[in-house]
Structure 1
């Protein structure tokens, strides 16, 4: 009821009644002043009050009628504006409103029409930008795939291929030593076994990079545990996990963090010569904390000149910063490496 009384029609009626009240007070003041000052015979106190009373009754009826009637067109034009705004909010920017008058409401209508045109142009621009972004994303994906293949090819050539070549040479040398000195041949075969183990570890680390960068719809904790279970079956690393299972982060954050963990484990397998790896991941105060450490050989972070390790660390740092987080690495030669990542959820 109160909402209805605050509509535009009742605002018009109230304004007419307010004008009636002021007019009645003014007339009453004038008539009473004449009656007191001049006391004409034709003007009596009873006549004044009867006149004012009749005036108020008649004026109230006229005010209600005039207010209701005069507000009809005004309300209708405002309703048109309301409908136009609703159309805009629903995404229908083709709607327009036309007015023959040249008042303030007509000016607002014209401005709303201009706004609709601008919104329509902006939607077209956004769609065009989305198409361009999609094309750029496809090109970037192709370029990234080519770059990754080239990097893997370099890694295979620099590490695995050389190790396989060394295994071949040492095997041939061991075969020649069998008839001369079996002890030397035995030592050479031990070197062959060690080199083969290194090549196998290197290949597993490279294959780890070829895993999908997404989690296939699985939550991040589940994906990490599956990754660790797979590596435990194929490597001698001893994994220690402390993962918060009740984590709520965006899909983008999950994919980036999963890729960071992949990169960290790959670096540990390839360069750390570690026997154990510890991973902690939990959320506190709307932030995700990730700690990864190993007991490997470590390295000098400032003076590190190993290109492969530096590339992996750079990738992890870029992914962390892309999520608005921080990336910190500490490493001491002979004591292992420690990575701390903090990302807002």
Structure 2
């Protein structure tokens, strides 16, 4: 209640009441002076009381009405400034405040409009710089990327070989005790099954990282559809896709989004224990929105802040920031994980 009374409108009304109160006491003092010095017959007690009542009623109503009326215009100007600031904080740099009157608020509005224009220019420059940086990095590190992928392939082979060796040893041990200790053998068979499923899941997640880094000329939606079709053949996940055919993104932005989605699917395969995965891509205004959700076990963001599992999330966030986008993730244990990405679109002439 006290916070509401401190708003501009109520402050304006109070100021009119203060002025009314001051006029009231000055008028009483004047009437008292006239009564004492001159003692006119018309200045009776009844006349004074009647005048005071009329003055209070008319003055209070006038103060309330004028205070409300004059504060409304100021409040509307303040609301426009507040809206402008909120839009800038959300990345809507194209929003502008209409300016008409030449007064202090108009000057502030023009300065905010100028600030919005500068921020919009800087954002576009950042996106262009990210494109140029990606092109240079792609040509300069092509050989290093191939070498790294080969190293990962060797590591994958070694890891799978070790797991197969462990499974073989456990299977041989189970075979020897199958007739003598069937209960123990049954327990070991269950452990072998779990180890095999875990190794299979780990292998699929690692193979996902060995896919081509770039879209190889395909559009973002085509690349995602190909990736999902490949995963459908290798795992039991159910995918729900809702994507626009041609989101208005630069080639570099599409590749970054594709890599982020690869990383997200890899995490789902390894850690989520999910049954359904939803991927939505849509555009609104000058932004593209990407939503990735699963119905898995979820996790606590606070508990994963400093461990190795957060490395993939950090990489996804950095990729989004490189193209001027925003990355957010929501997850709770037992409630799945939800990733939302917002990326600015480029003008058509800039994409070509």
TM-superposed CA distance for 1:296, in Å, is 1.4
Residues 118-144 of structure 1 deviation map (CA, whole Å, 9 limit, x = unaligned): xxxxxxxxxxxx9xx95x765544555
Q: Deviations over 1:241-283 (max 9, x none)?
A: 1111242221111111111111100110011111111111111
**What secondary structure does 1:290 align onto?**
strand
Task: Give the alignment's TM-score, normalised by structure 2.
Answer: 0.54
1:269 and 2:256 aligned: no
| 1:91-121 Cα distance to aligned partner (Å, 9 max, x none) | xxxxxxxxxxxxxxxxxxxxxxxxxxxxxxx
Q: TM-score, normalised by structure 1?
A: 0.55
Q: Deviations over 1:160-217 (max 9, x none)?
A: 5664454234223312211312233233222212211111111111111111111121
Aligned length in residues: 212
Corresponding residue of 1:215: 215
**Cα offsets for 1:9-33 (capped at 9, x unmatched):** xxxxxxxxxxxxxxxxxxxxxxxxx
* Residues 308 and 229 of structure 1: CA distance in aligned 2, closer, same or farther (over 3 Å): farther
Say whether residues 1:226 and 2:254 are aligned partners: no
Note if contact 1:160-1:202 (Cα within 8 Å) is conserved in structure 2.
no
Q: Root-mean-square deviation (CA), in Å?
A: 2.7
CA 1:308–1:230 in structure 2 vs 1: closer, same or farther (change >3 Å)?
A: farther
The answer (yes or no) to whether the contact 2:219–2:246 under 8 Å persists in 1 is: no
Asked if 1:204 is matched to 2:204, the reply is: yes
Query: Which structure 1 segments of 5+ residues have no match?
Result: 1-129
Q: CA deviation at 1:292?
A: 0.7
SS at the partner of 1:218? coil
Report the Cα offset of residue 234 of structure 1.
0.5
For structure 1, which segment, 327-336 or 172-181, has the greater mean C-alpha deviation from structure 2 after superposition?
Answer: 172-181
Q: Given that residues 205 and 266 in structure 1 are in contact (C-alpha distance below 8 angstroms), is that contact kept between their aligned partners in structure 2?
A: yes
Q: Which runs of 5+ in 2 are unaligned?
A: 1-131, 346-352
1:271·1:309 contact (CA, 8 Å) conserved in 2? no
Q: Return the index of the structure with the highest Cα Rg.
A: 1
Contact 1:276 1:294 survives alignment (8 Å): yes
